[in-house]
Structures are given as structure tokens and as C-alpha cells.
Structure 1
Amino acid sequence: MENILVYSDSVSWGVIPDTRKRMDFHLRWPGVLERSLKEKGSDVRVIENCLNGRKTVWEDPFREGRRGVDGLAQVIEMHSPLKCVLLMLGTNDFQDTHDNKAWMAAQGVAKLVSVIRQAPIEPGMSIPKILIIAPLAINNPKGIIGHKFAGAEQRCKDFPGELEKVSRELGTHYLDANTLVKVSDIDGIHLDEDQHMVLGQAVADYLQKIKVLSWP
């Protein structure tokens, strides 16, 4: 069996827009990804490490443990051997507590890539491939957490392009979720159930295309 790690935030955790509830595993995109890969013939397990409010490298002044860089090396060590790590982070870097623009958040993702590649895995285990997935652009944030993202639409502008530059410079794989799915009209931040289905299938197709896993 081959392992894939999804390292992400509430979008991949499966928050039901404008609630505190969570979609079941088979409905959120990492679960859809696992099912689709198995249907394609891959013996795979998708491991979720998705935390609500997770940022790349910045502290949250109100909630502890939201720096994605903290403990990431140990997460990689814990779940190794890994074939691939899927990084879909950056949305929370644009919360109103920070004045980050696209370049800054992209550099946060670059730091995560560095940590993954330097993680203390066991001798003989290969460094996992990395797929950077550009998260959906925030659009008219509203609802119970909308106030956290006041002005985020402008701050996150050009984020996919900056992430693509980071991916190219660091030699990772890259996928832009904005070309595949749309953000929920309910809160402007998360994904509706049907979009989880589309994204999970699209990521599975992409992983098959780049031949990250073993196929029959």
C-alpha cells in the first residue's frame, strides 16, 4: 500500500459552509480522491492532516497551533514512507489579522516544501513528491467567519500565479483548484459538497497523469 498525505486547512477538513459541521470522509475531497484512486487500480491510503484555521508560517493571535510549519517535519516522519504530499494551504494567511499579499503567502508555502524535504525520515525511505494545490480565491466572504476575511479578496489576488512560480522554482508539481471548482456562494471561502466531488476526482486524474503512484 502507498500513502498520500493531505496537509491542509478547513477547506479540506470538510467544513460545511457557514456551519461548524464536517462532511463525512467519503464526501470531502480527500475521501473522494482515495476512492477514485482505488477505482483506478491503485493500492493507496489517503492520510488527512487538515486543521481549521491553519496558516503557513504565521501565528494566529487568538488560536494556538495554527502555524502549518510547526511540527510538519514530525508529521512527515510519522506517516512515512509517503509517495506524495498534497499541500493546499494559504487561505488563512489572508485573514484580517495579517496584511499578507500573494507573494508572502506563497513564500510560506515554499517554506513548507523545504521542511518536507528535510524531514528526518528513516534511512532508505524516499523523499515524497510534492503537489502544491492553489486554494480557491476568497470571494465575498460572509457568514459566521466572514469578518475574519475582511478585505481578503484583494490580499489574495494573484496567489495562484505566485504559487505556480514557487512550484516551478522548487521543482514540485502544481495544480490550480480555481480552474477546476468554484468557491461556495454560501460563505465565499469553503467548498460545497458537489465541488468536493469534482476536486477529488480531478486530483486523482492528475496524480495518475504524473505517475506518482504505482499502477497495475
Structure 2
Amino acid sequence: MHQILVYADSLSWGIIPDTRERFDFNQRWPGVMELELSESDKPVRVIEDCLNGRRTVWDDPFKPGRNGLIGLEQRIEINSPLSLVVVFLGTNDFQSMHHRNAWESAQGVGAIITAIRRARIEPVMPIPEILIVAPPKIQKAKGAIAPKFEGAELKAVGLNEAIRRVADDENCHFFDAGTVTKTSRIDGVHLDKDQHRVLGKAIAEFVRSILPEC
């Protein structure tokens, strides 16, 4: 059985847009992916390490522990052996308190890749493949999160291509979530239930081609 670690933020944690509630496991995309793969000839166990507000490499001034680099190497060690690590980050780099652009966020993804590969694992265990997922394009935020993401849709322009270049440079697999879904119709940032399902099925199909190589 393959073990897949999903290292991500609220888009993967499955927050229900404009609430503080969470979709069920079989409704959020990592769960959809697990079910899709396990029903085929690729039985997997998906380990969700998804934290609301997680950035790539920056701290949240209001909530501790949101810097994605902190503790990442230990998470790889804890959950080994891993066939694949899926990194789905970037959206929170554009919260209103950060003045970042797409290039800077993509460099943060690059630092995440370096940390994964630097992690200490037992010598008999495989070095996991890495799949980088670029978030769908942020829309103008609506509802309760609007102040937190004010201007994010402008700062994040070009993020998918910037992340793609980093993934290529680092010899990682890449998937652009924006090719199969937009962000939530409700808040403009997260994913609605039907979008989770579409994304989970699409990533499962992509991952199916990666796992035999692991």
C-alpha cells in the first residue's frame, strides 16, 4: 500500500466556505483521491497534514505555527515510508498583511521542496516523489474572509506559472488545480463541495501515473 502525505492549507483541510465548519473526509479532495485510487489497482493511505492559514515560509502575525517550513522535515520522518508528498500551498501568502508577489510565493514552494528532500529518513526507506499543486486563481474574496484576503487576487497574478517553473527546476511533478476548477462561488478563495470532488478525481488520475514509479 502506498502512503501519500498531503501537506497543505485550508483548501485541502476542507473548510466549508464562509463558515468554520469542515467537509467530511469523503467530501474533501484528499479523501476523494484516496477513494478513487483505492477502488482501482492503486490502494493508498492518504495522510492529511493540512492547516488553516498555512503559508509557504512566512509567519502569521496573529496565529502561531503557520510557517510551512517549521517542523516539515520531522513530519516527513514521522510519516515515512512515503511514496509521495503532495504540496498544495501558496494561497495564504497573499493575505492582506503580506506584501508578496507570485515569484516570492513560488520561491517559498521551492524552500518547501528543499526541506522535504533534506528530511532524515531511515536508509531502507524510499525518498518520496513530490507533486506540487498550484492553487486555482484567487478571486475577489467575499464574506467573512474578505478583509483577510483584500487585494489577494491582484498580488497572486501569475502564481500558477511561477510555481510551475519552480517545480520544473526542482524536477518535481506538477498539477495546476486551476485547469479543472475555479475557487469557491461563495467566498472566492476556498473550494465548494463539488469543486473538491472534481479536483480529487483529477489529482487521483494524475497520481495514478506517478505511483508505479515510486
TM bucket normalised to smaller:
over 0.9
Write the letter of the residue equivalent to 1:65. Answer: G
After superposition, the Cα gap between the structure-2 partners of 1:72 and 1:27, relative to the gap in structure 1 and judged at 3 Å, is same
Deviation at 1:214, TM superposition (A): 7.5
In 2, distance between residues paired with 1:97 and 1:213? 42
Which residue in the other structure is 1:71 paired with? Answer: 71
Which residue in the other structure is 1:19 paired with? Answer: 19
Q: Aligned-residue CA RMSD in angstroms?
A: 1.1
Which residue in the other structure is 2:211 paired with? Answer: 212
Is residue 34 from structure 1 mapped to residue 21 from structure 2 by the alignment? no
The alignment-based identity, stated in percent, is: 52
Q: Is the 8 A contact 1:33 1:201 kept in 2?
A: yes
Q: Is the 8 A contact 2:42 2:208 kept in 1?
A: no
Deviation at 1:85, TM superposition (A): 0.4
So what's the TM-score if we normalise by structure 2?
Answer: 0.98
Which consecutive aligned stretches of 4+ in structure 1 deviate over 4 angstroms post-superposition? Answer: none
Which residue in the other structure is 2:177 paired with? Answer: 177
3-state SS of paired residue (1:111)? helix
**Aligned ranges 1:127-138 → 2 under 5 Å:** 127-138=127-138
Q: Which runs of 5+ in 2 are unaligned?
A: none
- Note the alpha carbon deviations across 1:9-52, whole angstroms, 9 max, x for none: 00100000000000000000000000000111212100000000
Q: Which runs of 5+ in 1 are unaligned?
A: none
In 2, distance between residues paired with 1:78 and 1:91? 26
Q: How many positions carry a matched residue from both structures?
A: 214
Which residue in the other structure is 1:81 paired with? Answer: 81
Write the letter of the residue equivalent to 1:212. Answer: L
Which residue in the other structure is 1:110 paired with? Answer: 110
So what's the TM-score if we normalise by structure 1?
Answer: 0.97
Deviation at 1:137, TM superposition (A): 1.4
**Aligned ranges 1:5-16 → 2 under 5 Å:** 5-16=5-16
After superposition, the Cα gap between the structure-2 partners of 1:23 and 1:213, relative to the gap in structure 1 and judged at 3 Å, is farther
Which residue in the other structure is 1:200 paired with? Answer: 200
3-state SS of paired residue (1:73)? helix
- Note the alpha carbon deviations across 1:73-102, whole angstroms, 9 max, x for none: 000000000000000000000001110000
Deviation at 1:145, TM superposition (A): 1.3
In 2, distance between residues paired with 1:130 and 1:213? 14
